[in-house]
Amino acid sequence: MVVGGAGGTNITTSVAQVILNYLFFGYDLQKAVKEPRVQITINETDIEEGFDKSIIDGLMLKKHTIYRNISLSVVQAIVREEDKVCAESDHRNKGYPAGY
């Protein structure tokens, strides 16, 4: 699996979330890239629209300041599934590779 992104300080967590979605949660590649993301820095949390409300509620109980409807990093991913190669370009950049 190859995953990369653009978006400054959000790159690491966005790439990690895509990898976790695919490898550990069993999402197909398109869903793994498309799924809403979260970025947490010292009690400040950026979330994309549609992110899991129960997680947001838990963070608020821990006194996190929540910033909603933030657009996080644009991610591209490529994975080999048996005899085929699958690729997904993030809808956050209208389906174009990062940098365009």
Sign of CA dihedral 30, 71, 56, 9: positive
**98 CB burial (10 A radius; 0-12, 13-18, 19+):** middle
- 72, with CB counted inside 10 A (0-12, 13-18, 19+), is buried
Distance CA 68, CA 46 (A): 6
8 annotated as belonging to a binding site for a ligand: yes
Q: What single-letter amino acid sits at 2? A: V
Binding residue numbers for L-glutamate: 8
Binding residue numbers: 8
